[in-house]
Chain A
Amino acid sequence: MRDDEQSESERNAERWIEMKVIIGFEIHEQLNTKTKLYCDSPTNYRDVPPNTHVCEVCTGMPGAKPYPVNQDAIDAAVEIALMLNCEIVKEPIYIQRKHYDYPDLPSGYQRTSLPIGRNGSLSGIGIWEVHLEEDPGKYDPITGKVDYNRSGVPLVEVVTAPEIYSPEDARNFLRELTKVLSYTGKVRPEGGTMRTDTNISIEGGARVEIKNINSIKGAYRALKFEITRQKNLRKRGVAVKRETRAFLEAQMITKTMRVKEEAEDYRYIPDPDIPPLVITSAKIESIKKTMPEAPHLKEQRFIRQYGIKKDDAWAITGEIEMADAFEEVCKEIDPKTAAPFFRHIIKKKLNFDNKTFSESGLTAGDITTILKSMNLGELTASSGELVIRGIIEEHKPALHIIEEKGLKRITEKDVVEKAVEEAIAENQRAVQDYLSGKVEALNFVVGSVMRKTRGRADAQTVLEMLKRKLEK
């Protein structure tokens, strides 16, 4: 009887584990405009003391009014929406006031636009909308101080459909989205500016919102934790509450912020100080003309146009600067040679150093030089890798590194020949041993040649040259 009950509950548990997980995201990323969204204050707040990049507008002083919406920010949001295959809204787009009471919000409301783009998709996941927002200031609960340098910095918010079904898929999606955003060149390049809210529910359960997620890794961990938490509740027969939870990164857990009954009413109103935005077809067309090819399209094109492997194409298109360099290199180098070099040598080093291609200082010119030399047999594969490392670590051009480290393979016959003749003269005993049938004795002579040429001669060539000379 008892056993029966247990296996019954275990079977139930199994069923819970099978239940479908549904995940959606709201992702905020800072745009890299020079000035803030509604004033002329600069946006590079990280480099300056608190409250120095501020004015009446972004500190919400009584009587201050927003400047006209930063056109660069609007254009960036349109471009991002287009890159995510959205339709751009043609009707007037209102800027709304979202009211809530928090120390980092100087006016007691945040300005947030209605959707600029709608009905897009990325990696098969629906994009519900793309819109513009302003960042609040930064509140330090310990000192009680607020730094308004960040207040008014433009943010783009991307809202996905709840069409992601596992933490792994969520991670892949966020990586792909980050890639698209960085392709546009319109978001802050210095990572750590992504802020994500996620909705998660387990089939048949209430939807839970998790806030305070600041990285892809964080999103993955928060989702893992939350799925376990919700499944455990369900296993015990407890209903999952509809609520908002905060992700505590250090502890890797989520914690209740507020339950549904306490849900905030933001009392949205169209901002009377700002006429609605109108995005013309001409504007859309001009942005379409100059915007970059989306990474997944580029990947497909690389496979098609250069005949390279999918994995190589995926790795190379991971960063637009690297993809551009690859295409440049392929003007002179066989893509089938270049692609594996990019993926296995360059990308490996970048991953190891946790650097982006653009931070690395590598240029298409340097890479072409290296690959050419390798093709000509002037550089060995391992020397090629050393040159890449040298460029990244020492910030010097390829030719300098090759020169300094003496990496160039010696191909001038006379130099090698001279060394071979010297080695024969100096190692008569070994030569005699070889001639008397001890084949391995020749390795000693080869070693001597290699020392004389400081390793730049090709061992196989030396060996053949020695044999030829001694057989004469």
Chain B
Amino acid sequence: MDAEEKVSRYLEKIKKEDKKIKAFIELNPNVLEEAREIDRKIKQRKAGTLAGLAIAIKSNINVRGLRATCASKTLENYVSAYDATVIERIKREDGVIIGMTNMDEFACGSSGETSYFGPTQNPAAPGRIPGGSSSGSAAAVAAQFCDIALGSDTGGSIRNPASHCGVVGLKPTYGLVPRYGLIDLAMSLDQIGPIARDVYFTALMLEVIAGYNPMECTTINVPKQEYSKNLSRNIAGYKIGFAREFEEFTDPKIMGVIKNSLKKLENLGAEIVDVQLPNLGKGLSTYYLTVFVEFFSATRKFDGRRYGYKIEEVCGREVLRRILLGKYISQKEYSGKYYKKALQFRSLIKQELLAALSGVDVIAGPTVPKLPHELGTKIEDPLIMYGYDVLTVPANLAGIPGGVIKAGEAEGIPVGLQIQGKPLEEQRILNVMYALESNSGSRHDEKRI
């Protein structure tokens, strides 16, 4: 099947099903033309590694000519004038951008419900939230609207919806993937990463988007890795850490599924080792204090002078709450009290995670402590919502990579196993996921359409 034909099938499926799912905010009007162009390249054997793959992009990443709305009225009419670095890299490898996906407004949320364009459905668990904030990206992959999607992860925004939607997601090491062109939530935590239906596509996309950008201060200068080529199912002898603290926070139904997949890993030759994460629960407040302050700073440009609306006047409740809290705690009189303290606590959490990782290859555990709630459930207390992130924020605070793969189901709802690794050791995470994936019989070549 050529790229044009595949893209038209995706478009048909989207046309039929996305009214209900709401994975996309906007489709690329030139996608077929672009696919035809790539087909010509494929015939000439000049196409890149993503040749003809349909890629969905989270609406907080700039794609020239498409709207990067951040699912907010604030940027309703903002058409990107430039490509994010990751988009340049995808285009260079001949990926086809199929459209811009739905998300929590400005990536502020873990449910996919705060979008100005309406909530996204979970294709893998109808009636439930898909998780967030990369809700549309995970849903588009789960609903087979695309081959691969890009999400962004500040405190779990790739891993959380990947878990709820039963797909594969990876948050890379902070600085491995350029952020240039990603609209900020919290600059010191944000990372772009792939969401895909299998580990191979996840690895393939990661190797395209990862790598140093000399024009970006926070990218890491390391040699390019060929993650897809180096995928290996052989995890015999891997030491996989598990922390008892995970259980304190997690629904036993989910824990059951997780324990089951740890057994599978043991059967594959890995050794499960106890690690300690005594400060696991303290990550949340550190994380949110950091997010509030950085998000307040990042949104100052939406002052109504350039992009139509002043953010505070048109945004949803959660975005406004974060801006106002950020404004409050960044006041001069509190400067030592919150943000700086958060930065200090952050290094403690990082040390703890790195210490736990030092004796093992990866740490495996649950991704989200609770099953996704039903769409439309009123959750008035933001702390309950924030609680969804308790297991995912530590990786962002420490800057380490974390991958998610479906471990099984609880009450018919997908449950994702989270695998965290040392900085820049994405390959080990991918390998563990790859081993688990082939063990569950969901290999990429079987599911490819």
Interface of A toward B, CB cutoff 8 Å:
56, 60-69, 97, 99, 101, 103, 106-109, 265-269, 271-275
Contact = CB atoms under 8 A, between A and B. Distances in A.
A272 B306 CA distance: 24
Contact of A107 (B61, B82, B180, B300): B300
B78 A62 contact: yes
B180 A97 contact: no
A266 B297 CA distance: 11
B218 A63 contact: no
A265 B306 contact: no
Chain A interface helix/strand/loop/mixed: loop
Interface in B80-114: 80-82, 84
Contact of A65 (B179, B296, B331): B179
B153 interface: no
B383 interface: no
Contacts of A56: 81-82
A63 B294 contact: no
B330 A60 contact: no
A398 B172 CA distance: 70
Contact of A108 (B184, B303, B332): B303
Contacts of B78: 62
Contact of A63 (B184, B217, B303): B184
Contacts, number: 87
Contact of B183 (A62, A267, A274, A275): A62
Contact of A272 (B180, B294, B300, B307): B294
A106 B306 contact: yes
B423 interface: no
17 contacts: A56-B81, A61-B81, A62-B78, A63-B61, A63-B84, A65-B180, A67-B215, A68-B214, A68-B217, A69-B217, A101-B303, A109-B297, A267-B330, A269-B293, A272-B294, A275-B217, A275-B218
Interface string B8-35: 0000000000000000000000000000
Contact of A103 (B187, B305, B331): B305
Interface in B160-198: 179-184, 186-188
B317 interface: no
Contacts of B432: none
B75 interface: yes
B293 A108 contact: no
B279 interface: no
B340 to A, nearest CB: 9
Interface string B187-222: 110000000000000000000000000111110000
A269 B62 CA distance: 26
Interface in B306-337: 306-307, 327, 330-332, 335
Contacts of B40: none
Contacts of A68: 214-215, 217
Contacts of A273: 187, 217-218
Contacts of B62: 61-63
Given A62-B68, A269-B330, A99 B297 contact: yes
A46 B66 CA distance: 33
Contacts of B61: 63
